[in-house]
């Protein structure tokens, strides 16, 4: 039996590439956040990461709708099938998220370090996108910015709590372990600021004000002082630092086995096993 293949727009266009980067960051971060559902260290954190996971996957869904030109009107079977084809029907090399987003959750310190680095980029990016020349992008960014406040607040809270040096942590174990996690995360986080193909055009046209590359400086301006305040001076990325090779190229579809052999196969199992299924 031959199944109808949903027709997708040209995904190589700058608008599509930018929206895929934003959507895929949310989608893959969402999948990794869902790791904590049922096994987080407290009930509150279980609810937090479950909600953050749900938000990430739904935000990705909404950006896919924007990409397809039907934001808010995805109820028809064809529209739904097209959104699913974008979220679950692409080959691994066609995903545009940063490699950091696909990394295994490891432990709670690593999860929270990544969460903090990513949410600060996402907040700055959504702020920039509210000024997009594309009205659909601007409207959705405005809505999501409102919701993402809760993610940022959660991330900042845990940063303060785990990095505290005021003696609240008996042996500074939390400060040390969180610092070790940040030391792994922050260099790889620079991969969030790589541009997608054609991003210059999207910046010039006003579709993506600032763009990923230019967001790196304001991101450093936010996280640098916070790191120094708590004695993580040595971890502050410098303006010249390059993305480590292992974490570079995500925005152009170069992904690690954490994605190609872990997140992607699991995330797409049902979609690949039952083509055209509706749920």
Partner 1 sequence: MARMMRTAPVDVDDVRRAVTSVPDPELPPVTIGMLGMLHHLEVDGAEVTVELLPTYSGCPATQMIERDVRAAVGGLAGVEHVTVRFRYDPPWSAARITDAGREHLREFGIAPPGGDVQGAVTPDGRPTLPVAVGASDPRPCPYCGSTDTVRDAPFGPTPCRDLRYCATCQQPFEAFRN
Where does this chain bind partner 1 (CB under 8 A)? 44, 47-48, 50-52, 54-55, 57-59, 61-62, 71-73, 75, 135-136, 138-140, 142-144, 146-147, 149-150, 153-154, 156-157
Q: Is the dihedral of CA 260, 91, 192, 47 positive or negative?
A: negative
Q: How far apart are CA 54 and CA 199, in angstroms?
A: 28
User: Closest distance between partner 1 and the C-beta of residue 263, in Å?
Assistant: 20
In this complex, which beta carbon is closest to partner 1, that of residue 138 or of residue 214?
A: 138
| CA atoms of 193 and 121, how far apart (whole Å) | 9
Q: Closer to partner 1 by CB, 12 or 75: give it.
A: 75
What is the smallest separation between the CB atom of 55 and partner 1, expressed in angstroms? Answer: 5
Q: Which is nearer to partner 1, 59 or 251 (CB)?
A: 59
2 or 75: CB nearest partner 1: 75
Least distance between partner 1 and beta carbon 143 (Å):
5
Q: Kindly tell me which of 127 and 156 has the beta carbon lying closer to partner 1.
A: 156
CA distance 175 to 81: 46
Residue 39 phi, psi (nearest 5): -130, 10
Six-digit token string for 198: 């054609």
- Beta carbon of residue 248, minimum distance to partner 1 (angstroms, whole number): 31
Comparison of 174 and 214: residue with beta carbon closer to partner 1: 174
Separation of alpha carbons 179 and 181, rounded Å:
5
Least distance to partner 1, CB of residue 85, Å = 18
The residue (of 47 and 93) whose beta carbon lies closer to partner 1 is: 47
Choice between 66 and 215, CB closer to partner 1: 66
């Amino acid at each position: 039996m031959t199944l109808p293949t949903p027709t997708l727009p040209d995904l190589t266009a700058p608008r599509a590439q930018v929206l895929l980067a934003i959507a895929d960051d949310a989608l893959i971060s969402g999948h990794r956040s869902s790791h904590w559902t049922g096994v987080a260290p407290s009930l509150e954190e279980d609810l937090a990461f479950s909600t953050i996971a749900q938000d990430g996957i739904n935000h990705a869904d909404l950006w896919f709708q924007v990409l397809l030109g039907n934001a808010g009107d995805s109820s028809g079977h064809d529209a739904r099938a097209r959104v699913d084809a974008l979220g679950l029907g692409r080959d691994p090399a066609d995903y545009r998220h940063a490699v950091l987003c696909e990394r295994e959750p490891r432990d709670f310190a690593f999860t929270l370090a990544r969460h903090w680095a990513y949410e600060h980029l996402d907040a700055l990016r959504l702020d920039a996108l509210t000024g997009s020349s594309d009205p659909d992008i601007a409207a959705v960014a405005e809505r999501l910015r409102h919701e993402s406040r809760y993610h940022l607040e959660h991330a900042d809270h845990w940063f303060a709590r785990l990095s505290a040096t005021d003696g609240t942590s008996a042996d500074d174990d939390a400060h040390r372990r969180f610092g070790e996690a940040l030391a792994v995360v922050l260099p790889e986080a620079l991969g969030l600021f790589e541009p997608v193909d054609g991003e210059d055009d999207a910046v010039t046209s006003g579709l993506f004000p600032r763009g990923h590359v230019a967001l790196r400086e304001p991101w450093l301006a936010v996280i640098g002082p916070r790191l120094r305040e708590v004695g993580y001076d040595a971890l502050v990325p410098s303006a010249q630092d390059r993305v480590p090779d292992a974490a570079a190229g995500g925005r152009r579809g170069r992904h690690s086995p954490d994605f190609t052999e872990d997140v992607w196969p699991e995330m797409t199992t049902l979609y690949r096993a039952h083509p055209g299924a509706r749920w």
